[in-house]
Amino acid sequence: MTGFPFAAAAPVEHQAPLPKLADVVVIGGGIAGICTAWELAGQGLKVVVCEKGRVAAEQSGRNWGWVRAQGRDPAEIPLALEARRHWARWSERLGPGLGFRTVGVSYLARTEAELAGYEAWLQHARAHDLDTRLLSQAEVARLIPGGPEHWIGALHTASDCRAEPWVAVPMIARAVAQAGVAIRENCAVRALDIQGGQVIGVITESGRIRADAVVLAAGAWSSLFLRAHGLALPQLSVLSSVGATGPMPSVFEGAAADRDFALRRRADGGYTLAAASSHVMSVGPDALRQPRAFWPLLRQDWRATRLRPAAPRGFPDAWTTPRRWSPDRPGPFEAMRVLNPTADNAALDSACDAFAAAFPALGRPVLRARWGGMIDTLPDVVPVLDRVAALPGLVLGTGLSGHGFGIGPTVGRVLAALVANDDPGHDLTRFRHARFSDGSRLTPGPAL
């Protein structure tokens, strides 16, 4: 049994020399940061990506690999539709290794109530001309042969896709480096360099970089980073666990979930499995600071959320993680190069049981790897994609709340447009930073 493929001990692949001067510094080598750098380089800008650990070693490599429009918050659907085009272009450019395929996504229902919940989302599909539809029991049986009879229907989007996270994001990063972006791993940004209320660059563990703009795409670390500069972002990290089987016969080439488990066929013939909606939230200072902001989400999701009294040492919201540090010395980002939480084995075992019960002919799946990922969640389960009004020069792209892999390439394009003061091409009102401070009511979207 192994854990996630990229540990902090893995060899460093990107070690570009740090320039003293750049147009833009991107903090974070996940899909959001890497795709932002690609778009900025396409504008002819000199770009540096600073990654404290390894490219794609946190959420962007650890996720399920669903590239979907189905079930999203209505404001995210246009981003998801644009993302399909970016993914298709990346696939043409980099080849089949990316694992990008249009194979469909299905949410399987066991009860009329579940089906009715899915049906309610169809209005959003219609508004965006999506091919999402409700499948009958017979259609589900044809789509997923050998599945149980208790799947009485499904929400299905045939045009949704999949890709291979821990292969695709590093491949894209290599292309971005070849395009001239300086990517540097093991390079934590300790602080923003601020002069006269304006961001003028960053202070990294390897020295300062002056830059006209900085993009913070630091995933689960964003809130900790911002708070040290007096900026609030109500972000919590929740643990979600994933397992990978070895090659198995195909039951469905796409991605599907019912209430007990989620599966996604991988390019190597195995499945990525998870307990569909089970996660663990550790209580820490951030969680206590903003219980009211997260209350609607917790109420909606209480069955699926297990609370723990403390996050492991060194995690962004652990009790002992420093909230202030000097940029002259190593801080919390260097102390945890790769956030590599222990998987919730009970949740994964129950996902395996549910898979085995659904497909008895295949036997109980054997997980050859198990890992956890910390999802950077905001109270309304949609990201912040915005300039920071209080700190000119800083752009935020974070809080992708468990569904940023699929839309990552669009997030990059949008963040690059925000840096350049161009039209982002989408209505970003729902993603504005000020919603957490201007008295707006925070309403979780459907996020099915």
The 316-355 contact track toward ligand FAD, x by CB under 6 A, reads: -----------------x----------------------
* Contact of 235 with 377, CB cutoff 8 Å: yes
* Contact of 185 with 54, CB cutoff 8 Å: yes
* Contact of 382 with 401, CB cutoff 8 Å: yes
- Considering the rule CB under 6 A, would residue 402 count as an interface residue with ligand FAD? yes
Q: Which of residues 186-215 bind ligand FAD (CB under 6 A)?
A: 188-189
Binder to ligand FAD among 91, 106, 237, 240 (CB under 6 A)? 240
Judged by CB under 6 A, the stretch of 40-48, 226-234, 246-254, 404-412 that binds ligand FAD is: 404-412
Judged by CB under 6 A, the stretch of 106-114, 121-129, 302-310, 400-408 that binds ligand FAD is: 400-408
Q: Select 60 or 290, whichever has its Cβ closest to ligand FAD.
A: 60
Q: Select 153 or 404, whichever has its Cβ closest to ligand FAD.
A: 404
Q: Is the dihedral of CA 141, 144, 150, 153 positive or negative?
A: negative
Binder to ligand FAD among 18, 31, 115, 244 (CB under 6 A)? 31
Judged by CB under 6 A, the stretch of 40-48, 116-124, 320-328, 399-407 that binds ligand FAD is: 399-407
Using CB positions, name the residue nearest to ligand FAD.
30
- Considering the rule CB under 6 A, would residue 217 count as an interface residue with ligand FAD? yes
Binder to ligand FAD among 104, 254, 379, 404 (CB under 6 A)? 404
Q: Select 150 or 313, whichever has its Cβ closest to ligand FAD.
A: 313
Judged by CB under 6 A, the stretch of 44-52, 127-135, 293-301, 429-437 that binds ligand FAD is: 44-52
Binder to ligand FAD among 405, 431, 435, 444 (CB under 6 A)? 405
Q: Select 137 or 322, whichever has its Cβ closest to ligand FAD.
A: 322
- Considering the rule CB under 6 A, would residue 38 count as an interface residue with ligand FAD? no
Q: Give the nearest distance from C-beta 260 to ligand FAD in angstroms.
A: 17
Q: Give the nearest distance from C-beta 367 to ligand FAD in angstroms.
A: 14
Residue 288, burial from CB neighbour count under 10 angstroms (0-12, 13-18, 19+): exposed
Q: Give the nearest distance from C-beta 376 to ligand FAD in angstroms.
A: 7
Q: Select 154 or 256, whichever has its Cβ closest to ligand FAD.
A: 256
Packed helices 77-94 and 404-419: angle between N→C axes, nearest 10 degrees: 100
Burial 127-142 (b: 16+ CB within 10 A, else e): eeebebebbeeeebee
Interface residue list for ligand FAD (CB under 6 A): 27-33, 50-53, 57-60, 62-66, 188-189, 217-221, 225, 240, 242, 333, 373, 375, 398, 400, 402-406, 408
